[in-house]
Amino acid sequence: MYRNNFLVQGFRFLVKGSYATFFLLFLSFLLTFTSCDDPSFVGLEVQPPGDRFVVNSYRDEMINTSVWEMDSVPALNHSVSLLGVMDDPLFGRLYASFLTQIRIWNPIDFGSDRVADSLILYLFYSRTYGGNYGPQEITVYEIKEDIDEQTSYYSNFDAEEIIYESDVLAAHTINPEEGDTLIAIPITSTRFQDKLLFAPDSATVSFAQFLEYFKGVYVKADPVDGDGSIFTVNLNHPDSKLSLYYRNDTPDTSFRYDFVINQGIPRVNLFKHDYSEAVFYDVLSQTGTDDSVYYVQGTAGVMGRLDFDFLQTWRDSMPVSINMARLYLPVDQTAIDEQYPLPNRIALLEKDDEGRLFGTIDLALGDQYFGGTYNSEQGYYEMNITNWVQAFVRGKRTDKSLYVSTRESGTTPNRVVFRNSKHSLGGARLEMIYTRH
């Protein structure tokens, strides 16, 4: 009953993709277009032996879903960093902090009889997530180990193990207002001011030497009051820097030296979630719940699990060729909040035999093929998972589950609430065009 509309959609999709594949399938459609649609997969095994290479369509909405906690995401050298604490009414509390190195851009000569006036860490931010500009406590520590770019850092890295706890560089309450773009954090540690102002010549002749002298900083956020926000900090922006204001033996003159933070400097994004107040806390990492929705959040937050139990029947009924398989994930429109925008793109992950998550083979074929963007008119995310379904029915995949995550989980906290099959408006569905051999 889906043939006329759904097969046309299939043709349109294939035209956008491989022309060779489209031509072969088009011949198959011409030869078999008058074949019957399958109202369900049960009818496959009773087809007459003479019906060979018959193209049919199939649709299934009984995809079981659940919400699972994500362990971590790769955290090294992202394009932006996140800073702040946010209390989300649905997802609980998120902490976002970061590590970064700081460099010199030329050899330093502060002159004689130098005296520090102030030292300020400036952080340029391009957006906020959460929409609440309540005060937050920003604490800055000096780190005592290199950020090694040959190391695989993850967002749950414990920065407390590599800081000088006895000397806090700064503990400053920020309270930006709407329209602001710069966070200024005064560094109050006189020990650290002197460390920079009186650095030996051997430490200031090059960045490599300076890095041996000063490894970098840990910038950490803690809540003070209110719901908070997450700031998207651009450390590559020229306004992000550590500025030392000082005087020397030059009469009536003050100077400023900017220690820079730019694209060539390693940094690590760090996230921590507290789900104790989340609406899904009681069903987190459980299957078989009565919830009619499931939840997905960036910053290594929660992910949705989709269980395709019915695909085992297809594996048992080979040979079948999956010509097209598209997955539709409808969004719960009642949970959309302009303060918490939806993810720009979502990804599908699967687990290997050791339980590690990795991207599906379809995602690796590119955005135009895979999709994963939000269709605001239809209210769903749409993805092509043809290769994954074909690999599963052929026995090349053993796990019948896929995990829904955000594509930019290392740099955005965006979240979404999806409907499932227990929702009154329906949930995830898989639509396929296949050839029965």
Mean predicted confidence (pLDDT) in 287-308: 95
Residue 38 confidence (pLDDT) = 45
| Nearest partner of 287 among 114, 38, 66, 115, judged by Cα | 66
Cα–Cα distance between 247 and 257 in angstroms, integer?
Answer: 11
- Residue ranges of the alpha helices (H) in 322-372? 367-370
Amino acid letter, residue 259 = F
Cα–Cα distance between 345 and 347 in angstroms, integer?
Answer: 7
Mean predicted confidence (pLDDT) in 222-236: 89
Q: What is the pLDDT of residues 360-373, one digit of tens each?
A: 889 888 999 999 99
DSSP-assigned beta bridge partners for residue 119: 244
More confident residue, 223 or 427: 427
Q: What is the pLDDT of residues 89-148, one digit of tens each?
A: 999 999 999 999 999 988 888 999 999 999 999 999 999 999 777 789 999 999 999 999
**Rg of the chain over all Cα atoms, to the nearest angstrom:** 27
DSSP-assigned beta bridge partners for residue 433: 57, 324
Cα–Cα distance between 296 and 129 in angstroms, integer?
Answer: 16
Q: Would the pLDDT of 20 be above 90? A: no
Q: Would the pLDDT of 8 be above 60? A: no
Strand blocks (E) in 211-319: 217-223, 228-233, 241-247, 254-260, 267-274, 293-297, 302-307
- Give whole-number Cα distances, 353 to 390, 394, 400, in Å: 19, 17, 12
Residue 78 confidence (pLDDT) = 96
Length of the chain equals: 437
Rounded to two decimals, what is the model's pTM?
Answer: 0.84
Q: Would the pLDDT of 179 be above 80? A: yes
Contacts of 97 (CB under 8 A, 6+ apart): 83, 159, 218, 219, 220, 221, 270
| Nearest partner of 92 among 227, 220, 291, 232, judged by Cα | 227
Cα–Cα distance between 363 and 388 in angstroms, integer?
Answer: 10
42 three-state secondary structure = helix
Lowest-confidence pick of 103-117, 145-159, 227-241, 379-393:
103-117
For 211, the token pair is: 């890095």
Residue 387 confidence (pLDDT) = 95
* Residue that is written with structure tokens 């890095």 in the block: 211
Cα–Cα distance between 391 and 322 in angstroms, integer?
Answer: 9
Q: What are phi and psi of 236, to 5 degrees?
A: -85, -10
Question: Mean pLDDT score of the chain, rounded to an integer?
Answer: 87
